[in-house]
Amino acid sequence: MKTQNFITLVQQIAQTLRLDYQIAQFGERSYPLFYGNTVLLNLGALLQQQDIRGKALIVSHPELRDLFGDQTEQSLRKSGYTVEWTTFPAGERQKNLATVSRLYDASAKARIDKNSAIIALGGGVVQDITNFLAATYMRGVPFIQIPTTVLSQADTGIGGCAIDHPTGKSLIGQFYQPRLVLMDSSVLKTLPESEVTNGLAEIINKVMCLGGMKTDSINEDIQKIKAGDWGMLSDYIKLSNKIKLGIIEQDETGSRGPRLLLCWGHTITHALEKSLDYSVSHGWALGIGMYGAAILSHQLGYLDRNRVKELRRTIENTGLPTQLPSNIKTDELIKYMTLDQKVEGSKKRFVLLRDFGDAFVSDPISDKQIEDCLTELSR
């Protein structure tokens, strides 16, 4: 583990800047996550604390540069950094090697080196692509995360990233820790309601399904969040990351098993996103994917039917779907599941629930059992 001096320094920074914090414990690669509504304004000072000097390359979308570019640049330049930008269009369809190749070109043109910082300013697609860029350009450049959506703040790529391949979602990836993660709650206030709803899917996934929070509590709090309680939303984002950190700190790369629990609800989700050519949001697909995994958990004798109903009610009360679209072909979904990361020897496996807060990786599941689940999910 990093020395106590590192922990003390993080505590001092948080106290001085009046920020909340968490520490991701990965030995010598441990790093802080800072939370607050002035985090962006302190970006330059926080980079200096990481002993990063010289240039900063910000990877983002054009719209986000328009929204946050001035304050981001001002903070960096005030601390003596030269700032370069590279942007690409929004959308899951951009999360591929072609985009990464263009970002390599931009990094070379900006003369980024191993003393520079590559900064991801954006949602989940920006975070994944930029993490992969930083991990592979010059075999590793300091990486800073600034997630700007509820989904990306509540499901930050702690310890890993993935990009898509034409044959499937998230097939290409790397494990590469950031130096710093900055969660600025003020940026969330620029989001449309649909994006908040999209992110709440991951909060349900982590806090209720994996964390075991009672449904009455989370249902009541979700309505408060949707009514504009930003403080409560920030608390749930921190709780979601605490749960994810608790899993990944046990198993950084998924080699021992615990990390695979984070795939809860995502087997159907990823197949559905691929089937729809990434035309829907991740949260929209995750609502269906979580409910489908709960149905399968019940059909195989693990999860009580009342829990399945509770989850469906929570998902639908959030404003997310729980039914497969009528135009989806179940055989196509099952085909895409053959490339899921939990597959062993061509045998499909799911993360299932015995109860909220009690997830496990299943034994091999037959296509017939998956078909039965998808049939009920279509009703």
At 234-276, the pLDDT tens digits run 999 999 999 999 999 988 877 667 889 999 999 999 999 999 9
Could you write out the DSSP letters of every residue in 317-362?
Answer: HHT---S--TT--HHHHHHHHTT-TT-BTTB---EEEEETTEEEEP
The SS3 call for residue 147 is strand
Would you state the pLDDT for residue 157? 66
* 172 vs 81: CA distance, rounded Å: 32
The pLDDT tens digits for 171-195 are 999 999 999 999 999 999 999 999 9
The SS3 call for residue 170 is strand
Domains recognised in the chain with CATH numbers: 4-190 (3.40.50.1970), 193-377 (1.20.1090.10)
Would you state the pLDDT for residue 341? 87
The pLDDT tens digits for 108-145 are 999 999 999 999 999 999 999 999 999 999 999 999 99
User: DSSP secondary-structure letter at 205?
Assistant: I
Strand 358-361 vs strand 351-355: parallel, antiparallel, or unpaired?
Answer: antiparallel
Q: Could you tell me the pLDDT band of residue 4, with boundaries at 50, 70 and 90?
A: confident
Alpha-carbon dihedral 306, 309, 314, 320, rounded to 10 degrees: 160
**Statement: residue 159 has pLDDT above 70:** no
* Beta sheet of 82-87, edge-to-edge order: 20-24, 31-36, 180-184, 143-147, 117-122, 55-60, 82-87
The pLDDT tens digits for 131-140 are 999 999 999 9
Q: Are 73 and 222 in contact (CB under 8 A)?
A: no
* 35 vs 235: CA distance, rounded Å: 10
Would you state the pLDDT for residue 1? 45
